[in-house]
Amino acid sequence: MTAVQDKVVWITGASSGIGAALAEVFAEQGAHVILSGRRVEALEEVARPLGGDTCILPFEVTDYAQLPDAVDQAWQWRGRVDILINNAGVSQRSLAIDTQPEVYRDLLDIDLLAPIWLTQLQLKRMIEAGGAHIVAISSVAGRIGAPLRTAYCAAKHGLIGYMDALRSETEKLHNMRITNVLPGSVATNVSRNALTGDGTSRGQSDAVIDAGDDPSDCARAILNAVLANERELIFAKDSELALSQLRHQDPDTFFDAIADYGVQIAQEYAADSN
C-alpha cells in the first residue's frame, strides 16, 4: 500500500475530464498536485477548489524543446516528483482509408512519444530519489483494435508496451512502480476532441461516450490502483471489458467478434458521411 499524502503528483492533461478528476481525488488525499495542460485558465479553474497547494505548469506536450524546462520547474517546486500521471492525449474518429499520414504522425506524437519523452527526461532523477510511481493512461483501445481508431490504437498499444518494458527494467532494481490504466467509455470530451481523417477536430460526441462512466469514478479507481501498487487497471464494463479480456483468452473468437463490429461501425460511419 502506497500512501499519497504529502506526495508530489504531476498530472498532464489536467484541465478537464479524467485529468481534472484525478487532481481532485489526489488533492483530497493530501497530495501536492502539479497541473499541466495547454490552457492556463482551465488549469486555474481546476486548481481553485483544490486549495493553495497546487502548481500550475502549462506546456504543450509535443514541444520537445520545452519539456526539459518543464521537468526542471516541476522538480524545483517540491524537490521531487513522486507520482507522474501521463494522461494528456487525443483520440481519433476516421477509417484508415480516409486518414491522412499527418494524422498518424500527430497522434503518435501526442499519445505515445510525448509521454515516453516526459518519462525519460525524469527517469534518472526518480531512480536517484529512491523510486517513484508512473501511471500511464492508455485505453481499452490499447488492448483491442477498435474501428475508426487505427492511429489511436497504435499509440495506446505502444504506450502499454513501453511501460511494460520499463517496469521489467526498473521495478525490482530501482523501486519504480508502473501502472497502466485502460479506461473504456468515460463521459469526457474525448470523442468531441478526436481527430478526423484530415486532422480537424470531430466536434461532436458519441452516444457511448456520453453514457460512459463518470470521470470521478475512473479517477477514484486509478487512485486505488496506485494505493495498491497495481500493475494494470482495466476500467471498463460490459462489452468493452469482455472484449479486452477475450483478446488474450480466446484470440480467434475475439478477432471474429471485432471484425463483425468493424463492419457495423464502418457502415454507420459511411452513412453518416453521406
Q: What is the pLDDT of residues 246-258, one digit of tens each?
A: 999 999 999 999 9
**Domain total of the chain:** 1
Q: Compute how many other C-beta atoms are within 10 angstroms of the C-beta atom of residue 162.
A: 19
Check if the beta carbon of residue 176 is closer than 8 Å to that of residue 83: no
Going across the sheet that includes 54-56, the strands are 54-56, 32-35, 8-11, 83-86, 132-137, 176-183, 232-235
Is position 267 within any domain?
no
Q: Compute how many other C-beta atoms are within 10 angstroms of the C-beta atom of residue 268.
A: 12
Is position 263 within any domain?
no
Is position 92 within any domain?
yes
**What is the distance between the alpha carbons of residues 70 and 156, in angstroms, rounded to a whole number?**
24
Is position 259 within any domain?
no
**Span 81-91, average pLDDT:** 97
pLDDT over 60 (residue 212)? yes
Q: Which amino acid is present at 1?
A: M
Q: What are phi and psi of 37, to 5 degrees?
A: 175, -175
Predicted local confidence at residue 272, as pLDDT: 76
CATH number for the domain including 27?
3.40.50.720
Per the residue annotation, which of 64, 104, 152, 269 is the catalytic one?
152
Check if the beta carbon of residue 156 is closer than 8 Å to that of residue 146: no
Beta bridge partners of 11: 35, 85
Predicted local confidence at residue 51, as pLDDT: 76
SS3 per residue for 82-139:
CEEEECCCCCECCCHHHCCHHHHHHHHHHHHHHHHHHHHHHHHHHHHCCCEEEEEECC
Give the model confidence (pLDDT) of 50-84 as tens digits. 976 899 999 999 999 999 999 999 999 999 999 99
**Span 110-119, average pLDDT:** 98
Q: What is the CA radius of gyration of the chain?
A: 18
Is position 120 within any domain?
yes
Is position 223 within any domain?
yes
Cell numbers that stand for 10 in this block? 504531476
% the chain with pLDDT above 90: 89
> Angle at which helices 17-28 and 215-227 pack, to 10 degrees?
50
Give the model confidence (pLDDT) of 215-236 as tens digits. 999 999 999 999 999 999 999 9
Q: Compute how many other C-beta atoms are within 10 angstroms of the C-beta atom of residue 103.
A: 21
What DSSP line would sit under 238-273, residue for residue? HHHHHHHHHHHH-HHHHHHHHHHHHHHHHHHHHHHH
Predicted local confidence at residue 256, as pLDDT: 95
Predicted local confidence at residue 86, as pLDDT: 98
**What is the distance between the alpha carbons of residues 71 and 81, in angstroms, rounded to a whole number?**
9
Per the prediction, the chain carries an average pLDDT of: 95
Q: Is 152 a catalytic residue?
A: yes
What DSSP line would sit under 166-189, residue for residue? HHHHHHHHH-EEEEEEEE--BSSS
Is position 18 within any domain?
yes
Predicted local confidence at residue 179, as pLDDT: 98
Is position 209 within any domain?
yes
Domain that holds residue 60: 8-245
